Amino acid sequence: MTPNWVGQEELVTPSWVGQEELVGSGASVTARSVTGMLPSLMDAATVSVSVTPRDETDSSTEDSSPVFELRDVNVFYGKAHAVRDVSIDLTHNRITALIGPSGCGKSTLLRCLNRTNDLIPGARVEGVITYHGLNILADTIDVIELRRRIGMVFQKPNPFPKSIFDNVAFGPKVTGMKLVGRSGMADWVEECLRKAALWDEVKDKLKESGLSLSGGQQQRLCIARAIAVKPDVILMDEPCSSLDPIATARIEELMVELRAEFTIVIVTHNMQQAARVSDRTAFFTAEVQPDGSRQGVLVEEGPTYQLFTTPRERRTEEYITGRFG
């Protein structure tokens, strides 16, 4: 059976799509479970909730199914070949960290996962990317619905210029999410703020602007906003790079907690962060071509502990030991 979000004409793009801060913030699903959201994909989306420790006992992904399978993915910006031949699986209920030097295509690849590169004029993605078994590069995919399922948190916290409450309630409202009971929305906003480890700090000032919060609080508000629409996957592009170490620690703790419920892909420049929070790590680099241009390639991917202790590739070792990049 074809899922109800495939095969529809490209939706009329709501006015809020295309604004970076809103991408991935909407959803119309009413059930939390992956299987509930993707009834036709139940087999592909077998849920594993076991937690893999990030140490040498890491059992890798043997018990976990891929959410995304990328095969020979190439990304171009006009004539520039930014990402070359990337093949990788991204696993359910795991945190995968994408690391590598500036310009190697981490953000570009992340954007492929919910097709936000479509919003960049001249960007073109080739290859195969499946999400729960569906080729999301197909013309028939409803990209708006795809982005509802695959939320995004950006480098710079970007709350809407709305109240704390409305920041969280916005996505569920615009997508008509069904919430039970008179205080359904209030309860849901509270639950999301609790999940984002922000409730205690904001419960007495829900009507105040989201912009009045500190940077770390704003980022947790953005995470609450992202999870408010019950996504399946959360993409995070350097979510802590503008935060201080205390706020960073809060977000890292939060990521580890959220992993039980969501699949998380995080781009980070901070290798300690990748080592601390992720289950698997993918190292990318930018290869210089004869004409001087650079193409991002995947050097290796594996359990985080293995990649940081016994990398297979010399380039990975040089990068993680600080000799390169």
Residues that bind ligand ATP (CB under 6 A): 77, 80, 82, 102-108, 120, 294, 296
CB of 219 to Mg ion, least distance (A): 16
Residue 229 carries which DSSP code?
Answer: T
Q: What angle do CA 160, 166, 172 make, to 5 degrees?
A: 100
229 binds, among Mg ion, ligand ATP, none (CB under 5 to 8 A by kind): none
Q: CB count, 10 Å around CB of 204?
A: 8
Helix extents (H) in the chain: 34-37, 106-112, 143-149, 164-174, 184-195, 199-202, 215-227, 245-258, 271-277, 304-309, 314-320
CB of 320 to ligand ATP, least distance (A): 16
Q: CB count, 10 Å around CB of 136?
A: 21
Among residues 196 and 277, whose Cβ is nearest to ligand ATP?
Answer: 277
256 vs 28: CA distance, rounded Å: 26
CB of 98 to Mg ion, least distance (A): 9
102 binds, among Mg ion, ligand ATP, none (CB under 5 to 8 A by kind): ligand ATP
Is the Cα torsion angle 223, 226, 227, 228 positive or negative in sign? positive
286 vs 296: CA distance, rounded Å: 4
Radius of gyration of the chain (CA): 19
Pick the binder of Mg ion from 52, 64, 65, 107 (CB under 5 A). Answer: 107
> What are the percentages of helix, strand and coil residues in the chain, rounded to 5?
30, 25, 45
Among residues 52 and 219, whose Cβ is nearest to ligand ATP?
Answer: 219
104 binds, among ligand ATP, Mg ion, none (CB under 5 to 8 A by kind): ligand ATP
Part of the chain binding Mg ion (CB under 5 A), chosen from 54-62, 101-109, 241-249, 268-276: 101-109
Bridge partners (DSSP) of residue 266 are: 97, 236
Among residues 65 and 295, whose Cβ is nearest to ligand ATP?
Answer: 295
Q: Which residues of 168-193 are buried (b: 16+ CB within 10 A; e: fewer)?
A: bbbbbebbebebeeeeebeebbbebb
CB of 235 to ligand ATP, least distance (A): 12
Among residues 3 and 103, whose Cβ is nearest to Mg ion?
Answer: 103
Among residues 50 and 102, whose Cβ is nearest to ligand ATP?
Answer: 102
CB of 102 to ligand ATP, least distance (A): 3
Among residues 105 and 210, whose Cβ is nearest to Mg ion?
Answer: 105
CB of 310 to ligand ATP, least distance (A): 24
Among residues 110 and 193, whose Cβ is nearest to ligand ATP?
Answer: 110
Q: What angle do CA 51, 56, 59 make, to 5 degrees?
A: 45
Part of the chain binding Mg ion (CB under 5 A), chosen from 50-58, 103-111, 220-228, 257-265: 103-111
3 binds, among ligand ATP, Mg ion, none (CB under 5 to 8 A by kind): none
Binding site for Mg ion (CB under 5 A): 107
